[in-house]
Amino acid sequence: MDFIDHYLIYVVLSIGAILSIVAKKLTVTGGTTGFAVALLIFKGAGYAAIEMLALFFIAGSAATGWKSAKKQRTGLQETGSNRRTAGQVIANGGTAALLGGCSWLWPEHAAILQLAIAGSLASATADTLSSELGSVYGRRFYDIITFKASSPGPDGVVSLEGTLIGIAGAAMIAAIYVLNPGNAGFAWSIVFAGAIGNLADSVLGATLERENIIGNNAVNFLNTAIGAAICLLLSSF
């Protein structure tokens, strides 16, 4: 039965990658990289983690496409294709994939590593939703470093509405985690990890990215790593 279940999930992941490429949500290399990321996450954390990954991808894609024309008119989104590349897939899912691989290799640590995966995906979801939807629904925008009023768009500029939307995204990831058998508890730590990871993303964007020291993909990867690290830290208390 386990073999059949695993065979089916491999087929589902393959179909998902192909459909993402056909629907122009991912580039060809992005789709193949996404399959590898999803496979590692599944091998290390099972169906719950795949559900969290699916939520991130679906919600993130929907948020990116939401009022896309308006974003392009105001310069908040580049015109042309919004297809995610392999680099973007790794930036958002690479931490979870690494943790999944570690959980697969060292199953005795699976429980704590699976919690860290939830923290990383909560951070990725919070960042994507807050930036994509905050730019649409935010009323007042501020520089995260100086707290001075700013216009939406530049790295490190945040809004209250966008921040709250990001927290809601992290809460959705936490809900999936705790509703799966054996994962009771820790919902608050996942939401907290998502919120802090999103905040860290803004700070990194306003400093290192704004100074062209690192790029957006590196910022996103660090964001997810911070979310995972926070869950690891809180689980020790």
Contact 197, 119 (CB under 8 A): yes
Query: Directed axis angle between helix 187-204 and helix 160-179, to 10°?
Result: 140
What is the CB neighbour count within 10 angstroms for residue 56? 26
Residue written as tokens 């059949």?
Answer: 4
Tell me the residue range of the domain where 222 lies: 2-234
Query: What pTM was estimated for this model as a whole?
Result: 0.92
Contact 134, 165 (CB under 8 A): yes
Sequence-distant (≥ 6) Cβ neighbours of residue 226 within 8 angstroms: 123, 193, 196, 197, 200
Contact 195, 166 (CB under 8 A): yes
The per-residue pLDDT of the chain, averaged, comes to 91
- For 99-116, write each residue's pLDDT tens digit: 999 999 999 999 999 999
Structural domain total, the chain: 1
Residue spans of beta strands (DSSP E) within 94-214: 141-143, 149-150, 157-159
- For 140-189, write each residue's pLDDT tens digit: 999 999 999 998 888 899 999 999 999 999 999 999 999 987 676 789 99
